[in-house]
């Protein structure tokens, strides 16, 4: 008579979770086959699961942890604030101090308002653009992710059966039941295609409130936008009185003033989130004072009533300010250098093994594609069934080797990492490439 297989602690937890959470999770990103693993604790760039296994964290909660886990400085600062209170129906001095600091990092930022997530930041920026221009429509790139909001969800995950002509991408809803009224107020343009994007924008110039742009969209391939494309979009928005909303929720970590600084431009409004909360929920919109004035209840241009129960709560603000002040120019230069070491090493491993692959990214983020040519738009980045299977194999290999990656085979680094962790990561990739080549 066989002995029943004993469930792991994670398997037991997942059984419980499935009874109370749809799919057993509150966020799909944590799903794994046959079940998610559950964290016991994290420290620095490593996390330990409930089975006692330690792994190097290259996901960092989807790029939100710039200093890894349980950073001592943030633990101290947040602990002190906890004894004073976590949220108030009054302002706090630290909110002002942190706003002053974030504004100082980018000369295009005049004023700022805090919210609770990157999604909220994009919502606020879009609504402020509509209020300022008195126009309803937005434009976004095909395949770009800008949070969970009906309008920016349009054409977030189209596929060959739904995406239509490459020059005129179809407007594809993400969620069943999305109102046609929302879908019809979105223009979808092909990323990095200057001529066609401008033609499409021209067709709706009098109705567009804003163009929402991510300079290195994850789902479009995590490849920095071509400078000519970015400047063409910026010039068009200026010429047509349309707001340029820059989504820097992920990319603000790329340089001291955000990735837009690398292009020499300033957006009308910039949405931020993730790492600016130091590991706590946060979002912020910064931008031109004239545009931001639509949020000012004391202004004659007050057009957008806005509030939020936990906006600018002192826990997120304190943690974020400590994190960002530590993420100064030397820290950025060092972390970006580690990412470049990883990219160089992975490219060498690709050449040495002969695997069909390429690497994209900039700053402290990169992504491995099982494609010979690095994608420059969503359709080039799209994974067919064969690629999806191979990518899953590589992700599972890296996980077994002790590395947690984002499920697109993307990595976002944290400051506790050093050259030894990067070299281990590269070596693990190389072993994975060798397996893929052997599989044929």
pLDDT value for 364: 98
pLDDT value for 5: 58
Which of 326, 360, 379 corresponds to the end of one domain?
326
Does 336 reside within a domain?
Answer: yes
CATH of the domain at 50: 3.90.1150.10
Q: How far is CA 55 from the centre of its chain?
A: 22
User: Do 89 and 46 fall within a single domain?
Assistant: no
Residue 165: give the domain boundaries: 72-326
pLDDT value for 2: 43
User: Do 297 and 342 fall within a single domain?
Assistant: no
How confident is the model over 174-230, as pLDDT tens digits? 999 999 999 999 999 999 999 999 999 999 999 999 999 999 999 999 999 999 999
User: Do 312 and 406 fall within a single domain?
Assistant: no
Q: Tell which residue, 204, 185, 180, 197, has the closest CA to residue 137.
A: 185
Does 162 reside within a domain?
Answer: yes
Tokens 């800008």: give the residue: 146
Does 11 reside within a domain?
Answer: no
User: Do 191 and 97 fall within a single domain?
Assistant: yes
Per-residue b or e along 18-44, where b marks 16 or more CB atoms closer than 10 Å to that residue's CB: eeeeeebeeeeeeeeeebbbbbeebeb
User: Do 219 and 264 fall within a single domain?
Assistant: yes
User: Do 45 and 190 fall within a single domain?
Assistant: no
Does 1 reside within a domain?
Answer: no
pLDDT value for 7: 82
Is the alpha carbon torsion for 98, 218, 17, 39 positive or negative? negative
User: Is the predicted pLDDT of residue 424 greater than 70, yes or no?
Assistant: yes
pLDDT value for 101: 98
Does 392 reside within a domain?
Answer: yes
User: Is the predicted pLDDT of residue 4 greater than 60, yes or no?
Assistant: no
Coil/strand/helix, residue 234: helix
Q: How far is CA 295 from the centre of its chain?
A: 25
How confident is the model over 42-87, as pLDDT tens digits? 999 999 999 999 999 999 999 999 999 999 999 999 999 999 999 9
Which of 299, 326, 353 corresponds to the end of one domain?
326
Domain count, the chain: 2
| Reported confidence tier of residue 33, pLDDT bands at 50, 70, 90 | confident
Tokens 């297989």: give the residue: 5
Which of 305, 326, 347 corresponds to the end of one domain?
326
Does 276 reside within a domain?
Answer: yes
User: Do 351 and 400 fall within a single domain?
Assistant: yes
User: Do 213 and 317 fall within a single domain?
Assistant: yes
Is the alpha carbon torsion for 306, 308, 314, 319 positive or negative? negative
How confident is the model over 246-304, as pLDDT tens digits? 999 999 999 999 999 999 999 999 999 999 999 999 999 999 999 999 999 999 999 99
Q: What is the mean pLDDT of residues 137-159?
A: 97
Number of Cα atoms under 13 Å in the Cβ half of residue 415: 22
Does 122 reside within a domain?
Answer: yes
Q: What's the CA gap between 412 and 63, in Å, rounded?
A: 6
For the CA atoms of 20, 13, 70, 248, the dihedral, rounded to the nearest 10 degrees, stands at -50
| Reported confidence tier of residue 329, pLDDT bands at 50, 70, 90 | very high
User: Do 147 and 58 fall within a single domain?
Assistant: no
The answer to whether 44 and 416 have CB atoms below 8 angstroms apart is yes
How confident is the model over 107-123, as pLDDT tens digits? 999 999 999 999 999 99
In 10 A of CB 219, how many CB atoms? 17
User: Do 162 and 309 fall within a single domain?
Assistant: yes
User: Do 144 and 76 fall within a single domain?
Assistant: yes
CATH of the domain at 318: 3.40.640.10
How confident is the model over 344-396, as pLDDT tens digits? 999 999 999 999 999 999 999 999 999 999 999 999 999 999 999 999 999 99
For the CA atoms of 173, 177, 183, 185, the dihedral, rounded to the nearest 10 degrees, stands at -150
Does 20 reside within a domain?
Answer: no
User: Do 181 and 224 fall within a single domain?
Assistant: yes
Tokens 């950025």: give the residue: 332
């Amino acid at each position: 008579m066989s002995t029943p297989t004993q469930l792991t602690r994670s398997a037991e937890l997942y059984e419980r979770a499935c009874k109370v959470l749809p799919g057993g999770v509150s966020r799909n990103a944590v799903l794994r086959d046959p079940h998610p693993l559950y964290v016991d604790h994290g420290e620095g760039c490593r996390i330990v699961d409930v089975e006692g296994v330690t792994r190097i964290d290259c996901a960092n909660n989807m790029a939100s942890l710039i200093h890894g886990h349980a950073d001592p400085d943030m633990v101290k600062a947040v602990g002190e604030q906890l004894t004073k209170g976590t949220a108030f129906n009054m302002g706090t001095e630290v909110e002002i101090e942190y706003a002053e600091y974030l504004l100082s990092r980018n000369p295009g930022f005049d004023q700022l308002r805090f919210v609770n997530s990157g999604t909220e930041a994009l919502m606020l920026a879009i609504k402020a653009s509509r209020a300022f221009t008195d126009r309803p429509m937005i434009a976004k790139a095909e395949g770009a992710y800008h949070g969970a909001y009906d309008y920016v969800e349009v054409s977030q995950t189209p596929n060959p059966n739904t995406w239509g002509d490459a020059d005129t991408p179809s407007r594809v809803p993400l969620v069943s039941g999305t109102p046609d009224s929302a879908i019809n107020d979105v223009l979808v343009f092909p990323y990095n295609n200057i001529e066609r994007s401008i033609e499409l924008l021209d067709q709706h110039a009098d109705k567009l409130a804003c163009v929402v742009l991510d300079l290195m969209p994850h789902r479009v391939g995590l490849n920095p936008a071509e400078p000519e494309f970015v400047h063409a979009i910026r010039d068009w928005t200026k010429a047509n009185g349309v707001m340029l909303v820059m989504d820097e929720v992920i990319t603000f970590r790329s340089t001291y003033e955000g990735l837009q600084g690398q292009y020499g431009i300033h957006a009308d409004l910039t949405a931020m989130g993730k790492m600016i909360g130091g590991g706590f929920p946060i979002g912020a919109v910064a931008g031109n004072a004239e545009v931001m004035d639509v949020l000012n209840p004391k202004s004659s241009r007050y057009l957008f009533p806005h509030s939020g129960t936990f906006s600018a709560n002192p826990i997120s603000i304190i943690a974020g300010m400590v994190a960002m002040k530590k993420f100064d120019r030397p820290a950025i230069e060092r972390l970006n250098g580690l990412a470049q070491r990883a990219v160089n090493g992975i490219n060498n491993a690709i050449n040495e093994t002969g695997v069909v692959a390429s690497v994209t990214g900039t700053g402290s983020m990169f992504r491995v594609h099982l494609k010979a040519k690095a994608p420059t738009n969503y359709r080039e980045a799209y994974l067919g069934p064969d690629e999806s299977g191979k990518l899953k194999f590589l992700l599972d290999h890296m996980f077994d080797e002790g590395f947690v990656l984002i499920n697109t085979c993307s990595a976002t680094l944290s400051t506790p990492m050093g050259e030894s962790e990067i070299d281990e990561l590269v070596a693990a990739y190389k072993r994975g490439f060798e397996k893929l080549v052997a599989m044929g």
